[in-house]
Amino acid sequence: MRIIGGQYKGRSIKTCEGPGYRPATMKVRESIFSMLMARGVDFEEVRVVDMFAGSGSLAIECLSRGAREAWFVEKSNKAAGLIRKNLADLGVDKKRIRVVSKDLFGVLSKKPEIPFDLVFIDPPYGKDLLVPALEKALKNEWIAPGAIVLAEVETSVSAPTEGPIADMELLTDREYGQTRILLWRN
């Protein structure tokens, strides 16, 4: 997979293969970053968290564009190891990154020192984890006021409209093949 923009544009990163892994295609990543830029995201000013990170491609794209800091939360040790290797191969400053190889819900059970400005959440398909993850992230202040939250889910998942998520403003709901992109402002 190639990085599509910024300092590392054109460089390749390795991705995991197997059940449950479906890195965002180039077309979807281009659309995502177009949406974010159209909404005024200044990548050099944001702290990013990539929940259910998988390959970490979305947060890596943010680092390529100058993000101050990126966290990758990925339960699979194999995938987390690959994220670490990709970051090392790219030469990303270790002070700008944190790879957490733990279950997301355990990580979200504690408040972070500083909430995040840009949140990516890409739960495994068919597990109904979007709402519980968003609710826990909101409850424990992982999502800063005014932050952008982007979810990549299967098209059968509708935008949640109840609970704390209802307080976020849904900005975009788009489909790309089997993928739905939901974009909120907190």
We report the CATH number of the domain holding residue 83 as 3.40.50.150
Q: Give the CB-side neighbour count of residue 96, counting CA atoms within 13 A.
A: 21
Mind listing the pLDDT tens digit for each residue in 147-172? 999 999 999 998 988 888 889 999 99
Kind and range of the H or E run holding 131: helix 130-139
Look at the alpha carbons of 2, 25, 86, 144 in this order and tell me if their dihedral is positive or negative.
positive
Residue that has been written with the tokens 């159209």 in this structure: 38
Q: Is it the case that residue 108 has pLDDT exceeding 90?
A: yes
Q: Which two tokens stand for residue 57?
A: 């491609």
Mind listing the pLDDT tens digit for each residue in 131-146? 999 999 999 999 999 9
Does residue 167 lie in a domain region?
yes
Does residue 152 lie in a domain region?
yes
Gap between the Cα atoms of 167 and 175, Å rounded: 23
Kindly provide the b/e burial profile for residues 143-158, where b requires at least 16 CB atoms within 10 angstroms of the residue's own CB. Answer: bbeebbbbbbbeeebe
Does residue 35 lie in a domain region?
yes
Does residue 19 lie in a domain region?
no
Range of the domain at 127: 26-185
Does residue 87 lie in a domain region?
yes
